[in-house]
Amino acid sequence: MEREKSYDLSDGKESVVCSRHWTVYQQKSPKVGNIINIGQRPIKKMQNQINIQYFKTPIGELIIGSFDDKLCLCDWKYRKMRAAVDKRIQTGLNADFVEATSPVIELTKTQLDEYFSSKRTVFNIPILLVGTDFQQSVWKALIQIPLGKTASYLALSKLLSNEKAIRAVAAANGANAISIIIPCHRIIGSDGSLVGYAGGLAAKKTLLKLENALENEQLSLF
């Protein structure tokens, strides 16, 4: 697996709401690991390990995953795209899920507890993105929407200088694997409707209420 260069988004024009170190993994063809034969069916064994833990929040259960001391997964356990998201991450990192904890997972649990208790407004967790260049650009743009604000798909597309890419932006938003911390719940319809959310509309409404965003006007990102 070829690793892209790591970079810090805490300085300059690409500053986000909290300082974090990003490592970007391109979705290129992974190296094939060992192959174990069970009967006549070969099973590929991944070369690496993603630690995962299940974590219950006041609005639903999350799967939290870490790889290489960074958070690569914080997603709703029962979302519709669960299998597709998991496959993308496992294939991109050439890794299997193993139920075990890690310092990053425990840090994420602590900060989420603080967030739901209204004791934390920004997250300071090392993040690892697994996706295409376009998906990564959308996820990074989402972090620029501050707590207490919302934006539409159109506003997000304009921020990316690609106003015609609304559908692609919406698809990338839906493919976000690090919920809450990368705040895809802050995206609403141009008419103010909540639109879809991986954790369900009830969860999205609760998150926006927690952030005092429901009564605010849509965020102007440009």
CATH value at residue 188:
1.10.10.10
3-state secondary structure 85-142: HHHHHHHHHCEEEEECCCHHHHHHHHHHHHHHCCCCCCCCCCEEEECCHHHHHHHHHH
Task: Say if 1 falls within a structural domain.
Answer: no
pLDDT at 163: 86
Task: Say if 60 falls within a structural domain.
Answer: yes
Task: Say if 217 falls within a structural domain.
Answer: no
Residues 6+ apart with CB under 8 A from 207: 59, 180, 185
Task: Say if 72 falls within a structural domain.
Answer: yes
pLDDT at 210: 95
User: Is 171:179 a contact under the CB 8 Å cutoff?
Assistant: no
Q: The domain containing residue 111 runs over which residues?
A: 7-210
Task: Say if 115 falls within a structural domain.
Answer: yes
pLDDT at 35: 30
User: What's the pLDDT tens digit per position in 167-199?
Assistant: 999 999 999 999 999 999 999 988 888 888 999
Positions marked active-site: 184
Task: Say if 222 falls within a structural domain.
Answer: no
Task: Say if 128 falls within a structural domain.
Answer: yes
- Band (pLDDT 50/70/90 cuts) for residue 215 is low
pLDDT at 220: 39
Q: Quick one: which of 24, 219, 35 has its CA closest to 140?
A: 24
Mean pLDDT within 123-130? 97
* Residues of the chain above pLDDT 70, percent: 76
pLDDT at 65: 98
User: What's the pLDDT tens digit per position in 46-63?
Assistant: 689 999 999 999 999 999
User: What's the pLDDT tens digit per position in 133-157?
Assistant: 999 999 999 999 999 999 999 999 9
User: What's the pLDDT tens digit per position in 66-120?
Assistant: 999 999 999 999 998 899 999 999 999 999 999 999 999 999 999 999 999 999 9
The secondary structure element, H or E, covering residue 25 is strand 21-25
Number of structural domains the chain divides into: 1
Task: Say if 218 falls within a structural domain.
Answer: no
pLDDT at 141: 95
- Band (pLDDT 50/70/90 cuts) for residue 44 is low
- Band (pLDDT 50/70/90 cuts) for residue 221 is very low
